[in-house]
Amino acid sequence: MKDRTSGDKKAGLVSIIVPVYNAGQFIAETIGYVQQQTYADWELLLVDDCSTDTSRELIGRKCEGDARIRLITQERNGGAARARNRGVREACGQYICFLDADDIWLPDKLRRELDYIRKVQQEENSDAGFVFMGYEFADASGAGLGKVVHVPERLTYRQALKNTTIFTSTVMIDRNKIADEDIYMPCVASEDTATWWHLLKKYGTAYGMDENLVRYRRSADTLSSNKLTAVRRIWNLYRRQERLTVIKSMYCMCFWAFRAVLRRV
């Protein structure tokens, strides 16, 4: 696949998109993790989805001290998918990264991942535009729990149906290889997983970097902590989004459930 025209996308610039909704407890800390990155050519797009807490005020203070930080406000609450899509539309960088408002990046995350995607493009697949990495579960305070999720070197669509190992805050996408319209997330539950499946179907392969530079903060009120809800979301993706048969859905679900348990025990 040939590179699409990059337009006014700045080469080497990483656009980091954070959907924000009542994230006042964590957002200043999360911004700090981005500012501590050893790779400094980034812009941080914080898309506020009509927060009712102090999120906007906290972000506003950070914007005053760092021109790379931008506050984008939604006119109405529309959920994480619409917030991320707004960020993609307003992004200026060649690369897109997503970061959830309560997750943690270690200082070398951007530099190491950017080196990795360039290495893959140079040595393995010049059309590669979608990479991800491993991560560690953390408690509500952000302390690592020692449970590291390792990722495969390559992941195809068929493999991903049985192994939802791609974690949103670990993804990097090269917009010179993948069109923006394919990055936009659908407004469905587990919109990120649906997006990764779409990209894999269209572009073939995602490349995994088995390094732990991201922490996934788990708290009692995190949506994905509700296991029954997670099962329903994935089942609906199989049946409604991917249009799999009941038998195929059950087959994939068995593998998905087994691997989901392994990631958390």
Q: Residue 65 has what pLDDT?
A: 86
Number of Cβ within 10 Å of residue 149's Cβ equals: 20
- Closest by CA to 192, choosing from 137, 154, 230, 135, is 230
- Closest by CA to 110, choosing from 47, 43, 62, 159, is 43
pLDDT averaged over every residue in the chain: 93
CA distance 116 to 238: 31
CA angle 109, 170, 234 (to 5 degrees): 170
pLDDT tens track for 156-210: 999 999 998 999 999 999 999 999 999 999 999 999 999 999 999 999 999 999 9
Q: What are phi and psi of 147, to 5 degrees?
A: -95, 100
- Is pLDDT larger for residue 218 or for residue 67? 67
Q: Where are the alpha helices (DSSP H) in the chain?
A: 27-35, 55-65, 80-90, 109-123, 157-161, 180-183, 191-203, 227-236, 246-264
For the residues 37-43, what does the mean pLDDT come to? 98
Q: Residue 7 has what pLDDT?
A: 56
CA distance 20 to 15: 16
- Provide, rounded to the nearest whole percent, the portion of the chain with pLDDT above 90: 86
Q: What are phi and psi of 256, to 5 degrees?
A: -60, -45
* Per-residue pLDDT band at 8 (split at 50, 70, 90): confident
For the residues 24-46, what does the mean pLDDT come to? 97
CA distance 109 to 241: 32
> 136: part of which helix (H) or strand (E)?
strand 130-138
Q: Residue 6 has what pLDDT?
A: 44
Q: Residue 265 has what pLDDT?
A: 59
Q: Residue 198 has what pLDDT?
A: 98
For the residues 26-49, what does the mean pLDDT come to? 98
For the residues 117-125, what does the mean pLDDT come to? 96
* For residue 223, pLDDT beyond 70: no
CA distance 54 to 42: 25
For the residues 209-221, what does the mean pLDDT come to? 86
For the residues 14-28, what does the mean pLDDT come to? 97
Q: Residue 220 has what pLDDT?
A: 56
